[in-house]
Amino acid sequence: MPKGPTKRRPQTTARLLEAAQETFAERGFYGSSIEVICERAGLTRGAFYSNFRTKEELFFALFNLHAQRVIDHLTQAVDELDTADDPLRTVLRRMNTVDETERRWYLLSTEFTLHAIRHPATARTLAEHDRRLREEIAHLLARLFDRLGRRPTVDLDSLARLTTAVHEGALAQNLVEPDQLASEQLAVTYLPMLIDTVSEPVSPKV
């Protein structure tokens, strides 16, 4: 069981997370043992178990780091909405452009999702993490509509699910056929029409 906080705990945790990111990227979730992660971090198994109970718990710590990265990126995109010539498509292009970090995370999270589907308790934990991230995305969608001068006519949680599905589905196709479909192509082409369909203009205040 993880022990209480110590002065060295943050550094140890950071080393484990960095080593886990690298090891998961190379070997996948199933192929990455706690021993290999500890060896890469230059730490003992005791150090691991002082911070995390299981490899699943380590994954969820990485999930939280990735979720914050996503929210920071989307927040910056929405903040810059007013300065673009074609605001909505510019934001969607930025939101759906994929770098190597995002690619690696997609591979890991897809494998872990399959693991969670086979283990109901893990699935419930993953669903709760997804819910918290989706809540943040829904808040950003509300800001996006506000910046566009429109009012959503659908539930924003459901819309967050749909936009996430488009992003992840397009990314999967891009990774399989990178020369046929850019990661942002589907979002940039079709989401503007969706945004118009599921919202209405806000009447200017008199």
Query: Bridge partners of 199?
Result: 152
Question: d(Cα 34, Cα 26) in Å, to the nearest integer?
Answer: 14
Q: Which residues contact 83 (CB under 8 A, 6 or more apart)?
A: none
The 10s digit of each residue's pLDDT in 10-67 is: 899 999 999 998 899 889 899 999 999 999 999 999 999 999 999 999 999 999 999 9
Q: Which two tokens stand for residue 24?
A: 């998961």
Q: Do domains 1-53 and 55-200 have the same CATH topology?
A: no
Question: d(Cα 131, Cα 193) in Å, to the nearest integer?
Answer: 26
Alpha carbon 170 to its chain centroid, in Å, reads: 14
Say whether domain 1-53 belongs to CATH 1.10.10.60: yes
Return the residue matching tokens 């979720």: 67
Looking at residue 206, its pLDDT comes to 52
Looking at residue 7, its pLDDT comes to 59
The answer on pLDDT for 205 being more than 80 is: no
The 10s digit of each residue's pLDDT in 142-191 is: 998 998 899 999 999 999 999 999 999 999 999 999 999 888 889 889 99
Looking at residue 122, its pLDDT comes to 96
Using 50, 70 and 90 to split pLDDT, how confident is the model at 95? confident
Q: Is 53 helix (H, G, I), strand (E, B) or coil?
A: coil
CA distances, 133 to each of 61, 73, 157, 178 (Å): 13, 13, 10, 27
Q: Where are the domains of the chain?
A: 1-53, 55-200
Q: Which two tokens stand for residue 14?
A: 């950071």
Q: With the C-alpha atoms ordered 97, 102, 107, 110, is the resulting torsion angle positive or negative?
A: negative
pTM: 0.86
* Separation of first and last alpha carbons in the chain: 62
Q: Which residues contact 149 (CB under 8 A, 6 or more apart)?
A: 201, 202
Higher pLDDT, 91 or 158: 158
Most confident of 81-85, 93-97, 135-139: 135-139
Fold of 55-200: Tetracycline Repressor; domain 2 (1.10.357)
The 10s digit of each residue's pLDDT in 100-129 is: 888 889 989 999 999 999 999 999 999 999
Percent residues over pLDDT 70 in the chain: 94
Q: Which two tokens stand for residue 105?
A: 């995370």
Using 50, 70 and 90 to split pLDDT, how confident is the model at 2? low
Looking at residue 74, its pLDDT comes to 87
Q: Which two tokens stand for residue 144?
A: 């996006």
Q: Which residues contact 28 (CB under 8 A, 6 or more apart)?
A: 107, 108, 111
